[in-house]
Amino acid sequence: MSCPYDKPIVDITQYVFHYHIDDEKAWSAARVALLDAMGCAIETFSTSVECQKLLGPTVPGTEVPNGFRLPGTNLSLDPVKGAFDMGTLIRYLDHNDALGGAEWGHPSDNLGAILAVADWLCRASASGRYKHAGPPLTMRTLLTALIKAYEIQGCYQISNAFNAFGIDHVILVKLASAAVVAWLLGLTEEQTLATLSHVWMDGHPSRVYRTGANTIPRKGWAAGDACMRAVHLALLVRAGQPGAPTPLSSLPFGFYARTFGANGFEMPRPFGVWAIQNVLFKVMPVEGHGIAAVEAALVQLGKLRARGLGPERIARIEVRTTRAADSIINKRGPLHNAADRDHCIQYVIALAFLKGSAPEARDYRDESYWARSEELASLRERIFIHVDEHLTRDYLDLNKKSIGSALTVHLLDGSELPEVLVEYPAGHVRNPATARVVQEKFARNMRLMFTEKEISKILQEVEKDDLLIMDFVQLFARQSSPGPRL
């Protein structure tokens, strides 16, 4: 008798194959999340030359029959490279959705793997070159995969701090994507167990590329890398590779024994449809834990101007925030690149005061006026971060899930602007403005490459459950493509 698989692997597989989604709010939220991620991809392709250099077939000129059509381009890619490119486009500008917890991450990262595989399968099946054995390749299936990937990643994030072991959160993108991609491919439950076992047997990315002087653009393509690996592992299992049943609990070399600790994972809630309904939509390209601080800064700037004063009258700014914000984006000293700047809470607060509006992706680039501004550098050094345990508890409380920051501004004349607290910034599910600002964000991003008529068509088509996935993806096709990579 074969050894049974570790329970966490079994639980994910059971959820993917047997959980029936019947919550209309979840379906609606999934459509919003899908469109938000697609808009982020278009924004990245339109504005980031740095990211464009990563896109396209490894060997220029390679033509993939029935390949994944990368949105915003005319590229047709194999599903492995397509997963990397799509995941990277969604994530690169740090503008896609986020979810906090003991671990933090970006569930829409998973769309890189989901969309690349689903579109490729749909095109190959329609051409007659491939007999698909999995679920129908329709919008309903795409949304199902998205909801379940969000849930797997989100539920693991709640109480499991991979960061405490130096592991980057994209380990959960690889895990969630591998699970739903196996299902999309038509693999059996046994093969899905095997695929997930390979996820845990992998080495896992270090958080070092998000930390201090080592912060580099890799943090923008780490999700794409995880998507690519998830697809590759699922395809290896489809080709006949077996799994190993106890990669977590095995002694002495299992993941628990060597990395995570004997107690294993803590799962405070069962898999369902919680995560898709609780993500933070990022209406500005700011690391999620800093968005409330930017909103509070803009409120304080308004009060400062009401007194007839400007930011030059600020002596210092005191910030109360969560432990997660302090850990991830509290940075002193030189900032070395755009990836460093967009993960610095002092930078985004100072930028908001001096610019008078929320940061944009271009404000982080080396050539930006703000990146070279001595005034910004000076104000940044006068912003002080304090961990607030109450805000931290509310951040971790599943019934609140606030992501708060509070700013007090002290002026050179000795007076102060009383504290402004923002707990639920725009983009948070509890903020009444969220639906409107997320719609505006999508339209704004799409206008970079699409007409109003085309945008309207996309909004109509995404509501059709029986729409073929390839027909949805085709709506985002363009004749442009990045230059050769080699």
Question: Is the peptide bond prior to 285 cis by the omega test (within 30 degrees of 0)?
Answer: no
Taking CA atoms, 138 is separated from 17, 65, 123, 179, 483, in Å, by: 17, 20, 12, 18, 32
Q: In whole angstroms, what is the distance from residue 222 CA to residue 257 CA?
A: 25
Q: For residues 285 and 94, is the Cβ–Cβ distance under 8 A?
A: yes
Question: What confidence score (pLDDT) does residue 1 get?
Answer: 40
What's the predicted TM-score (pTM) here? Answer: 0.94
CATH number for the region 7-277 comes to: 1.10.4100.10
Q: For residues 43 and 52, is the Cβ–Cβ distance under 8 A?
A: no
- pLDDT by residue for the chain (486 residues), tens only, comes to 478 999 999 999 999 999 999 999 999 999 999 999 999 999 999 999 999 999 999 999 898 999 999 999 999 999 999 999 999 999 999 999 999 899 999 999 999 999 999 999 999 999 998 899 999 999 999 999 999 999 999 999 999 999 999 999 999 999 999 999 999 999 999 999 999 999 999 989 999 999 888 989 999 999 999 999 999 999 999 999 999 999 999 999 999 999 998 889 999 999 999 999 999 999 999 999 999 999 999 999 999 999 999 999 999 999 999 999 999 999 999 999 998 999 999 999 999 999 999 999 999 999 999 999 999 999 999 999 999 999 999 999 988 999 999 999 999 999 999 999 999 999 999 999 999 999 999 999 999 999 999 999 999 999 999 999 999 999 999 986 665 544
Q: Phi and psi for 468 in degrees, rounded to 5?
A: -65, 140
Question: What confidence score (pLDDT) does residue 486 get?
Answer: 42
Question: What confidence score (pLDDT) does residue 262 get?
Answer: 86
Q: In whole angstroms, what is the distance from residue 370 CA to residue 390 CA?
A: 33
**Domain locations along the chain:** 7-277, 288-422
CATH number for the region 288-422 comes to: 3.30.1330.120
Q: In whole angstroms, what is the distance from residue 58 CA to residue 67 CA?
A: 14
Question: What confidence score (pLDDT) does residue 485 get?
Answer: 47
